[in-house]
Amino acid sequence: MTKVYGTGTYDFRRHRVAEYPLESKAVELSQKPGGGGGISSTITLSEIQRDRITKIAEANWLKTGDAAAEAKKNPFDAELVRKIYETELVVKEGQKPVPLQRVMILEVSQYLENYLWPNFDPQRATFEHVMSIILMVNEKFRENVAAWGCFYDRKDVFKGFLERVLRLKEGRELSIAEKTNYLVFMINAFQSLEDEVVSMTVLRLASLKSWYSLSYGRFQMELCLNPGLIKKWKRMVRKESVKGGQQLDPSTTPEVMFLRNLIEEFLEVVFPRRQLSGEDDELIDASGLGLANDACILYCERFMEFLIDLLSQLPTRRYLRPLVADVAVVAKCHLSTLYRHEKGKLFAQLVDLLQFYEGFEINDHTGTQLTDHEVLEFHYSRLQSFQLHAFKKMDKLRELALTNIGSIHKRADLSKKLSVLSPEDLRDLVCCKLKLVSMEDPWSERVDFLIEVMVSFFEKQQSQKEAINALPLYPNEQIMWDESVVPSINYSGEGCLALPKLNLQFLTLHDYLLRNFNLFRLESTYEIREDIQEAIPHLLAYINNDGETAFRGWSRMGVPIKEFKISEVKQPNIGEVKPSSVTAEVTFSISSYRAQIRSEWNALKEHDVLFLLSIRPSFEPLSAEEEGKASVPQKLGLQYVRGCEIIEIRDEEGTLMNDFSGKIKRDEWKPPKGDLRTITVALDTAQYHMDVTNIAEKGGEDVYGTFNVLMRRKPKENNFKAILESIRDLMNEYCIVPKWLENIFLGYGDPSAAQWTNMPDLLETVDFKDTFIDADHLKGSFVDYEVSFVNPDGTENLNPRPPFKIKLPRMLKGSGGALNGSAVSTAGAVNGIGMVDGNNQKERLIIETYTPPDPGPYPQDQPKQNSVRFTSTQVEAIISGIQPGLTMVVGPPGTGKTDTAVQILNVLYHNCPSQRTLIITHSNQALNDLFEKIMQRDVPARYLLRLGQGEQELATDLDFSRQGRVNAMLVRRLELLSEVARLAMSLQLPEDVGYTCETAGYFWLLHVYSRWEQFLAACAGNKDKPTFVRDRFPFKEFFSDTPHLVFTGESFEKDMRAAMGCFCHLKTMFQELEECRAFELLKSTADRANYLMTKQAKIVAMTCTHAALKRKDFLQLGFKYDNLLMEESAQILEIETFIPMLLQRQEDGHARLKRCILIGDHHQLPPVVKNMAFQKYSHMDQSLFTRFVRLGIPYIELNAQGRARPSIAKLYNWRYRNLGDLPYVKEASVFHKANAGFAYDYQLVDVPDYLGKGETTPSPWFYQNEGEAEYIVSVYIYMRLLGYPANKISILTTYNGQKLLIRDIINRRCVPYDFIGPPSKVATVDKFQGQQNDFILLSLVRTRFVGHLRDVRRLVVAMSRARLGLYVFCRRSLFEQCYELQPTFQLLLQRPDHLALNMSEITSYTERGVEDAEPRHHIHLVSGIEEMSSIIDRLYQEKSRHQSVQNGSYFSHSAPSNTDVVQSRQQTVANGMPEEADDMDIPDESEDAEKVDNHIAGDLPPESNIEDVTMVDSSASVPNGSPTP
């Protein structure tokens, strides 16, 4: 590690791997008193197996599958539960509420599932039994695994358990750690309201009954403000008295006093032994070291989190907010010492967040958002009535009563005016007249408390809109290193944070946007912080002899600034205080960079975001002690960070570079001159105003005179500002979600309200075009109906052929969709509605068949046809998608999501030709897959448009970008005008009618259409003459060049149909010309492109990032669309799903959006969130799709996969409700043949320690396993020597560290030999989501803890990438124990755990069937890595001999053996490879790995697969061309 003098050593390695930290915690817990042998932080599997808990588990509850062993298990013993609780789970001292290592071992041993819960009896269970269950549930939430699943088998008992939890504190004093654990359990319960079992009990605690605990004054005030509740209250009281028979005291019931008691308990902790005299409390003594320890502070923080959760969800907020206000929790917290103490920083932030939600701008009882005007009116009327009261009744407040409102609604002014009252008068005013606090509250005698209550009640609150508009969009150094807001990566889930949460429900759209704005801003802050920490140390800053900062080193992403000056500060806009714009000029030199990095700096363009840094290192290097205490900015010498956006960039001669505005014509462009670059940047005006105010008022330093480093970021990761601006713009608009979607979006109302069967304006008759291949296909799709086919005239059709029109009944059987989130489906009918009528007769479904009109005589006139035989579930999804409303389609791996989406678009285009559809995907690759398939359907290319950077990757000859489409329209115009001239010549008319689109339009009306009408009139009377059409057709000469004779003269009807086809061709031609006319009139490229996007294109596709970046441009251009289809929607951040719904302005106050189709799979990996705290604490990785599933919104789950062998599909299909296989994977020969050289099509290979090591971590979070890496590469070489094509093999792993290690080994062992070369891809499982390959070699890396594979979604992705062969390399003893992964690993472990090879096969061709039982002597079990290496050597020699016998020596190199591995090992460490390598593929990836959603028929090239390769052949076996390092 380089010593960075002047800044101390700082580890600037970057750790991208987001994983729940399982073993780096609780180092101090390594030896617990009475803990049964404590376990250090580097806990290993063998230590777990030796641990006392594990031994107790084996004797009492661990299931082994052995019936005899199960019978010997000890019966349930409550004393054992008590003993385990007291010795293992109780914390005697320290901050942490639980001994984490002990809880983890108990949870892994299935203590809850196998012992605590099966033996729980609500009547007899002890306190320790209940607390143990609470701790296990909390641990499951912390680990982010399903927590309530095991309770489902005894739902009634679970209600009893929750009752016990509510009464847990009766007659017992809990320790502070137990109180904290109890609170965490309640937080988790209130965060699980979608779970019926939980919500039924916990929502009782938030009912109207809780108002029995309000003070009388507050109770009266609340009923006066909400008169509608008076009836409800009386009804409830009547019901209670009837139910009880005798008069019961309501305050004895747990639901009435639950929150009140908790609040009082909390106040006891914050203000221990408080005498009501007003002196400081004793929570923290003068030295700042707690008398009450850190555990109390954690409890206080958790309690604030609990209250915030209650007030930020409408079902709990409605009746509990008055309780929080009644006790004046916020005011009391403001007066506590903890609020002001440095240890209470997080507590203070949480109190402020609670205050924000307590005063949130919403009507609690109707759920409607209050506008700014309504909030202001309410504030003024409240102050006015107070002034009136003061004028009438209180002489001392006469001055306050007569002053204007503007001078008393600020905190300081109001406090001053109230200070004239005596304590008695003030108490009387607050408690008796205004009834803000109860007289019985002991706090009512404190003057500072009473004034605080008054001020917080009457002061003017800043509106959300004002707050968000005043917030800088770029982070600064203060927020960047605030651990309570932007925590470091190793967040363990034990504490809470001052962050909003994204859960099921939101109060209003503003609340939704605000939470997302804050989280997205902080997530981007975290990423920027990581970039700064990586870039700065490379510069090697020091103080030179002049006392100024200088730099010895260089950094790719950061460059020293030569000059910085503010060039312009514009006047503020009316009504604002911040300047309207601030621009500056930054000059820097790129002379020290080599060509590639120079080109990166030269590529900066308008709207790119840069960061200005001020570095001032300490003169002397920091001592070890100083360094231990120093913050990260102090270690780096970092003073200030400010963001800015590029306006323009100029070279040394002042010439504009990278101009996209058209100022410089393309042919005038010259390469940039010199080494100096001057960038004009726009600074953040809000931040500038704050900085200038700080200089003026507090004499702060001028930040803008200190900048000395300019930092850039990777363009792909640097689009946060545009997304934040989009969210801020949305908050400033009147919101805008369609009415039919709004309630569902916020998480309220009937989950199925937006389903098509409940929507108005349905399409009654739908023309399904080419959806159905034949009549049998249609019948198979509607098995619940008796299908009858009729002709357009109503007569029965006995020989029906597509296309079909269907009149859809509103309640279509088997399609009421969908499953709702918590339903369990059975095969066949999916949640069918009214499946069979009273007479057990099937209902009739009338299908109209029709003969489509002849499209024209030329081959290009024929429409493209769909060849996919959709399953009945896919048809159900297509029907739902073409109807208005919300459609959700869950597409398990390989079930044809893309084909279903494309067919929805196709049918929608033909049934609603005037409507426009927007397609959004997460990745460019998915968008291109979708687009390539749309082009194979009957949708004209001129109506398709692809926006964003990925269009150049489209595998097509046509250019679908805006510029490409404009050019295509201009080329097409010329083609069509020449056709018009030819038509004019054929009619003996002048050719100049084809001069412009306008003249062609007149020609159509005057000459073409008139002739056609005359011809039709003549035909009417001559239908009996078979040759009449052939003789009299007016355009016969024009169609003389068709490939086939148009008119035969055999029958009038046949020729008339052909004539109609010819006229259809002409009509289409002139219609296209009319569409080209705008491109003729508009002269500039930009105008033409904008016209194309806003008027011409019917299907517009882009990524979610592009939509967020360009929202402002779309609104300015008047972009409109009716339908939104979103692919990969379970992989898109919630806010990035929301923005594409709002890329258009309102029409008369109504949203134009009619359909929203979300397609995704919530059982695969969620959106990527790099910071663990935002992922785990704030649920930021929850997509909108997943939230809708949790809310119980009906969805359609595709149920037939066509990707993998049925045997491989079994490894993951247990995760889905009813996932079967398509006939294709059962019938195609490629799925029946075995994998040559391997005994099995899938296998788990147990890899022991290699050279004495299992997993290693060269740096934190950077896991590697050399044994698995070498083994996997050896198996890859074995496959290549057999003749498997390299582009059919991908190597996957679960960690970045392992990925880089495998790439190193491949570069050493495979790349130098052209007959081996690199595989298609080496990638992490997370990055490979959405892709597939025939053969997958998978390394699971870990040997101590399971790590993040415990997330079942990652397991599903890992198991579902392979089509023909999957070989998993891992430590068997670790993974077979994991509860969540059992269904997969039980299947894997039915086969030997040593790699089984078939040594009789030495080519990649075999006739052996995949199920064939081979003679045992052919199967060889490989003992380990060394033996695999010798097998490769033998195979290589054998192949060489075989080859030389046939055609001379073939292999020119020596074999890529493993014998030199030990000597030349290159251990890849975290910073050993440039960041760019992170996502690189070894070969070019675009043509290699086949992508996920290819439906089934198109999945494999017919008979061109591996079985055709009979021997190793140099040209065939290295399809990637020359290997790249």
User: How confident is residue 74, by pLDDT bands cut at 50, 70 and 90?
Assistant: confident
DSSP 499-557: -----S--SSHHHHHHHHHHHHHHHHHHHHHHHHHHHGGGG-EEE-TTS-EEESS--SS
User: How confident is residue 58, by pLDDT bands cut at 50, 70 and 90?
Assistant: confident
Residue that wins the pLDDT comparison between 88 and 903: 903
pLDDT at 246: 55
Q: What is the C-alpha separation between 866 and 766, in angstroms, rounded?
A: 17
pLDDT mean over 710-723: 87
User: How confident is residue 1023, by pLDDT bands cut at 50, 70 and 90?
Assistant: confident
How do residues 215-231 score in pLDDT, each as one tens digit? 888 888 888 888 888 88
Give the CA-trace dihedral at 1494, 1498, 1504, 1506, to 10 degrees: 40
How do residues 1462-1472 score in pLDDT, each as one tens digit? 333 444 433 33
Residue 1493 has pLDDT above 50, yes or no: no
How do residues 189-216 score in pLDDT, each as one tens digit? 998 888 888 888 888 888 888 888 888 8
Q: How many CA atoms lie within 13 Å of 973's alpha carbon, on the beta-carbon side? A: 21
pLDDT mean over 12-19: 32
pLDDT at 185: 93
Q: What tokens were used for 1305?
A: 């080994």
Least reliable range by pLDDT among 411-420, 525-534, 550-559: 411-420
Percent of the chain with pLDDT over 90: 30
pLDDT at 790: 92
Q: What is the C-alpha separation between 1292 and 1289, in angstroms, rounded?
A: 10
Q: What is the C-alpha separation between 321 and 312, in angstroms, rounded?
A: 10
pLDDT mean over 606-635: 84
Phi, psi of 850 (to 5 degrees): -150, 155
Q: What angle do CA 1067, 1069, 1075 make, to 5 degrees?
A: 105
How do residues 241-264 score in pLDDT, each as one tens digit? 765 555 566 767 777 888 888 998
Residue 819 has pLDDT above 70, yes or no: no
How do residues 1097-1128 score in pLDDT, each as one tens digit? 999 999 888 888 888 889 888 899 999 999 98
Residue written as tokens 């491989």?
1208
User: How confident is residue 1070, by pLDDT bands cut at 50, 70 and 90?
Assistant: very high
Which H or E element spans position 219? Answer: helix 216-225
pLDDT mean over 971-975: 91
**Three-state SS at 149:** helix
pLDDT at 1193: 92
Residue 1498 has pLDDT above 50, yes or no: no
Give every CB contact of residue 793 below 8 A, 6+ residues apart in sequence. none
Q: What is the C-alpha separation between 186 and 141, in angstroms, rounded?
A: 12
pLDDT at 1481: 39
How do residues 1138-1166 score in pLDDT, each as one tens digit? 989 888 887 776 788 999 999 999 999 99
Cα torsion angle, 927, 928, 934, 940, sign:
positive
pLDDT at 244: 54
pLDDT at 626: 76
> What's the chain's average pLDDT?
82
pLDDT mean over 1296-1317: 92
How do residues 155-196 score in pLDDT, each as one tens digit? 888 888 988 888 888 878 888 888 999 999 999 999 888 888
Residue 34 has pLDDT above 70, yes or no: no
Cα torsion angle, 869, 873, 876, 880, sign:
negative
Residue that wins the pLDDT comparison between 1499 and 360: 360
pLDDT at 368: 86
Q: Do 997 and 979 form a contact (C-beta atoms < 8 A)?
A: no
How do residues 278-337 score in pLDDT, each as one tens digit? 444 444 444 343 445 788 888 999 999 999 999 999 888 988 999 999 898 999 899 888
How do residues 1441-1468 score in pLDDT, each as one tens digit? 776 665 543 343 444 555 443 333 444 4
pLDDT mean over 361-376: 86
pLDDT at 659: 66
Give the CA-trace dihedral at 995, 997, 998, 1001, to 10 degrees: 110
pTM of structure: 0.86
Least reliable range by pLDDT among 347-351, 714-718, 912-916, 1326-1330: 714-718
pLDDT at 1379: 75
Q: Secondary structure of 320-377 in the HEC alphabet?
A: HHHHHHHCCHHHHHHCCHHHHCHHHHHHHHHHHHHHHHHCCCECCCCCCECCHHHHHH
Q: What angle do CA 1092, 1097, 1098 make, to 5 degrees?
A: 160
Percent of the chain with pLDDT over 70: 85
pLDDT at 233: 85
- What are the angstrom distances between the C-alpha of 1213 and each of 877, 1162, 1194, 1263? 20, 14, 21, 29
pLDDT mean over 861-868: 88
pLDDT at 661: 56
pLDDT at 820: 58
Least reliable range by pLDDT among 84-88, 414-418, 755-759: 414-418
Least reliable range by pLDDT among 369-383, 897-911, 1091-1105, 1482-1496: 1482-1496
